[in-house]
Amino acid sequence: MKVQTRVKSAIEERQSIVMIRRGLLEWSAQNPRNLPWKKTEEPYEIWVSEIILQQTRVDQGTEYYFRFLETFPSIKALAEADLDQVMKAWEGLGYYRRAFHMHETAKYLMSEHEGKFPQTHDEIIRLKGIGPYTAAAISSFAFHLPYPVLDGNVMRVISRLFCVDLPVDSSEGRSHLMQRAEQLLDHDKPGQFNQAIMDFGAMICRPRSPVCKNCPLSTYCSANQNDTVNSFPVKRKSKQKKERYFFYLKINKGNQTYIRRRSKADIWQNLYEFYLVEGRGKQSWKDVLHSTNLKIDVVTYSDIYTQALSHQKITARFAEATLHSAEELLFEQGFIKVNQKKLRTFAYPKIIDCYLGDKALNLNSSS
**Residues that bind DNA in the complex, under the rule CB under 7 A:** 33, 35, 37-38, 49-50, 53-60, 92-97, 101, 127-135, 137, 151-153, 156, 169-172, 195, 198-199, 201-202, 207-209, 235, 238-239, 265-269, 307-312, 349-351
Q: How far is the CB of 253 from DNA (least distance, A)?
A: 27
Q: Are 136 and 194 in contact (CB under 8 A)?
A: yes
336 bridge partner residues: 259
d(CA 149, CA 22): 17
Pick between residue 173 and residue 296 the one whose CB is nearest to DNA.
173
Choose, from 12, 42, 50, 112, the residue flagged as catalytic. 50
Pick between residue 12 and residue 169 the one whose CB is nearest to DNA.
169
d(CA 320, CA 323): 10
Helix 171-184 and helix 10-30, axial crossing angle in degrees, nearest 10: 80
Pick between residue 273 and residue 320 the one whose CB is nearest to DNA.
273
Which segments of the chain are extended strands (E)? 242-253, 256-261, 272-273, 275-279, 296-308, 312-323, 336-339
Pick between residue 232 and residue 258 the one whose CB is nearest to DNA.
232
Q: Collect all residues with Cβ–Cβ distance below 8 Å to 168 and sequence separation of at least 6.
A: 155, 156, 159, 174, 177, 233, 234, 235
Q: How far is the CB of 115 from DNA (least distance, A)?
A: 20
163: left (phi over 0), alpha (psi -120 to 50) or beta: left
Q: How far is the CB of 213 from DNA (least distance, A)?
A: 16
DSSP state of 273: E
Q: How far is the CB of 234 from DNA (least distance, A)?
A: 9
Task: Please indicate whether residue 50 is annotated as part of the active site.
Answer: yes
Residue 233: cis peptide before it, omega within 30 degrees of 0? yes
Q: Are 350 and 92 in contact (CB under 8 A)?
A: yes
User: Side chain identity at 289, as an amino acid letter?
Assistant: L
Pick between residue 40 and residue 292 the one whose CB is nearest to DNA.
40
Pick between residue 99 and residue 323 the one whose CB is nearest to DNA.
99
d(CA 362, CA 364): 5
Tell me which residues are annotated as active site.
50
